[in-house]
Structure 1
Amino acid sequence: MTNARSARQSLAWSRGLVDPALRAAVDTLPASMRRVAGYHFGWWDADGTPTGGDGGKAIRPTLVLLAAEAVGGGAAAAVPAAVAVELVHNFSLLHDDVMDGDVSRRHRPTAWSVFGVSSAILAGDALLTLAIDVLVGSGHPATQEGVRMLSAAVQELVEGQAEDVSFEDRSDVELREVLTMAGKKTGALLACSCAIGALYGGASTERVRLLHGFGENLGLAFQLVDDLLGIWGDTQVTGKPVHSDLSSRKKSLPVVAALTSGTVEAAELSVLYQRDQPLTTAELSRAAELIERAGGRTWSQDRADHLLAEAVRVLGAAEPCDRAAAELAALARMATRRDH
């Protein structure tokens, strides 16, 4: 293993390859959709003035490119696949913000809160369609299978989102249900990112399957950490209000782990979660304390650590190139840190 990049170096390298192609793709959208999408990506303000806004970490496209290299392929050939998964990811974010009523993302107002619900939904639809266009227009020999793979991931993602929404009106949500939902809503696209990268890198069916498994485990670990950040994350780091998931009574993994713990804290938390009126600042802090005391925080952290270890084990079974293996493992560790 020589000259392996750090996770941050890998992300910067990926950005350098993917951003020009991503911008070129978005430039093909109708003007109204391009305006909303570019704002969401952090490229310009609501009035179109260019800005150096935060476009996100680009973990998914980086996984695509590293997976292609891991199986002996070239990153350049996998750029269309990387652009496609980033477009799908941002389609899901635009819709997710509308459904959750979130008013901030990446340290700025969400697209729907600036342009309206209808415009944000339509911009998300445009990005999803554009993702397929990018794959089809790439001319890569694996295009047909790549489109099928990405479409399957979108179907899982949508199903997971539907299940997540359905949990809001239920008081009997079980932990296994939330794990299954998270595997679809978050794990499906991360798994697809790794698998489609391997596919575009020319991997065998078995190696594609193993890279998919790596991404699947990583995706669920990533969601566990994201859920932890949704309760205890630093607003300056996450770009979201403190206790944001608790404000919306989200049935996240730490919450459900606490609610199903059978403890006295679980009973008190259940009462708070079933309140009709908004929770006060003090009540939100109390809810976070109850989740921790009921074991939800520790369970989530331990489960994320276990899934990360399993992801690295599955990655090794795919017999990746040494440098790419080290870089994928470093990226996985960074993505599941609790201070980002």
Structure 2
Amino acid sequence: MTALVPPALPAARELVGPALRAAVDLLDPVTRRVAAYHLGWTDHEGRPADGGGKALRPALAVLSSRAAGAAPDLPAAAAVELVHAFSLLHDDIMDGDRTRRHRPAAWTLFGRAEAILAGDALLALAGELLAGAGTPGHLQVARAVGVATRRLIAGQAADLEFERRTEVSLAECLRMSSDKTGALLSCACAAGALAAGAPPGLTGALAAFGAEAGLAFQLVDDLLGIWGTPETTGKPVLSDLRAGKKTLPVVAALTGGTPAGARLSGLLARPGPLPEDGLDEAARLVEEAGGRAWAEAEAKHRLDVAHRHLADADLPPAVRAEFLEVAAFITTRDH
């Protein structure tokens, strides 16, 4: 059953959308066209379209402002979404993914170089927005965004390195996922409160909540990357196995000490990409070796830890409930 989208997500999309569009309008026409397509606002000809992502990170940033008793901080919310959009543009090129959100990935239509430049531009816009806000709180957000971006890049570098290695430990894979996904979600959860000058106890609790929710998000993403349906994920079936990704379910299966894990290791060690029947066999072995069950249980565990970080935080009960609603969506979504 498809998880219901929490109201905080479409509300954030409507609230932060104008700030994002105003920022992208600052770009040159060529780069703006690529960015607008990637963000789901236009088709490849520049005609208006109704698409885009879940607005998860802007929603968390808006809730973060409300947690501190402040109005939504649009520069902070827009900045974390711009960083996320930058990362996806580059990620699709590095992974060779030709589809993003049920449409051709931007690089397949506009070219690799053009997509790289558009990603660079979106990252630059995030910094420009925060610098333009000019408050001490926004300086704190800018520093947090910089750290999160550096960690995101480190996680992506590790992800690429793991594809070339025959052995990867589960601890390494968890650290990679924490950097690649958890760091920016953690930043989003603290950004609004940081901009409002909230006390460290609150910003720390929100950041810790986001870090654990981010790992849960990546675990679900990894499950969908093997067993998700293309109609909902917008990506081909078995896409992560096809790309040779050492994702968390795969590494859990490989390091679990089971006969199925040993057979999986031998299958993945064969030179060249796996044929289609080999991909089906690999998915079956990941499940037989316990990788799927471990990832599902670990996602629930990370969500439980995230809940505990919010339990004693000093924030309005209604905002806490909305944070938890978003976290529940993270672990029950199908796309």
User: Which TM-score band applies after superposition, normalised by the shorter structure?
Assistant: over 0.9
Partner residue of 2:309?
314
Partner residue of 2:214?
219
Distance 1:87 1:337 in 2: 25
Given candidates 17, 33, 36, the residue that maps to 1:35 is 33
Partner residue of 2:170?
175
Partner residue of 2:285?
290
Whether 1:60 and 2:57 are equivalent positions in the alignment is: yes
Q: Cα RMSD over matched residues? A: 1.2
Given candidates 7, 10, 20, the residue that maps to 1:9 is 7
Checking the alignment, whether the CA contact within 8 Å between 1:45 and 1:51 is kept in structure 2 is yes
Q: Is the alpha carbon distance of 1:298 and 1:338 closer, same or farther for their aligned partners in structure 2, counting shifts above 3 Å?
A: farther
Aligned residues: 332
1:338 deviation in Å? 4.5
Distance 2:68 2:34 in 1: 37
Checking the alignment, whether the CA contact within 8 Å between 1:142 and 1:200 is kept in structure 2 is yes
Given candidates 125, 134, 138, the residue that maps to 1:130 is 125
Distance 1:186 1:135 in 2: 21
Deviations 1:94-133 (A, max 9, x none): 0110100000010001011111111111110000001000
Whether 1:24 and 2:19 are equivalent positions in the alignment is: no
Partner residue of 1:185?
180
Secondary structure of the corresponding residue to residue 251 of structure 1:
coil
Whichever residue aligns with residue 20 of structure 1, its letter is P
Distance 1:148 1:200 in 2: 11
Given candidates 148, 154, 160, the residue that maps to 1:159 is 154
Partner residue of 1:274?
269
Secondary structure of the corresponding residue to residue 332 of structure 2:
coil
Checking the alignment, whether the CA contact within 8 Å between 1:229 and 1:338 is kept in structure 2 is no
Whichever residue aligns with residue 209 of structure 1, its letter is G
Which residues of structure 1 form unaligned runs of 5+?
1-5
1:267 deviation in Å? 1.7
1:7 deviation in Å? 4.9
Distance 2:28 2:88 in 1: 20
Distance 2:25 2:333 in 1: 35
Identity of matched residues, %: 53
Task: State the TM-score, normalizing by the size of structure 2.
Answer: 0.97
Whether 1:339 and 2:334 are equivalent positions in the alignment is: yes
Task: State the TM-score, normalizing by the size of structure 1.
Answer: 0.95
Whichever residue aligns with residue 32 of structure 2, its letter is R
Checking the alignment, whether the CA contact within 8 Å between 1:7 and 1:327 is kept in structure 2 is no
1:136 deviation in Å? 1.1
Distance 1:141 1:289 in 2: 53
1:317 deviation in Å? 2.1
Deviations 1:41-65 (A, max 9, x none): 111111111112x211010010000
Q: For residues 204-215 of structure 1, what are the structure 2 equivalents within 5 Å? A: 204-215=199-210
Given candidates 57, 78, 86, the residue that maps to 1:91 is 86
- Give runs of ≥4 in structure 1 deviating > 3 Å: none
Distance 1:85 1:45 in 2: 24
Secondary structure of the corresponding residue to residue 326 of structure 1:
helix
Partner residue of 2:69?
72
Distance 1:182 1:338 in 2: 18
Distance 1:171 1:329 in 2: 38
Distance 2:333 2:194 in 1: 31
Given candidates 46, 49, 53, the residue that maps to 2:47 is 49
Partner residue of 2:140?
145
Whichever residue aligns with residue 64 of structure 1, its letter is A
Deviations 1:162-201 (A, max 9, x none): 1111111101110000000100000000000011121123
Deviations 1:16-60 (A, max 9, x none): 1100110110010111110110010111111111112x2110100
Deviations 1:270-289 (A, max 9, x none): 12212223322221111111
1:141 deviation in Å? 3.7
Secondary structure of the corresponding residue to residue 7 of structure 2:
helix
Checking the alignment, whether the CA contact within 8 Å between 1:73 and 1:200 is kept in structure 2 is no
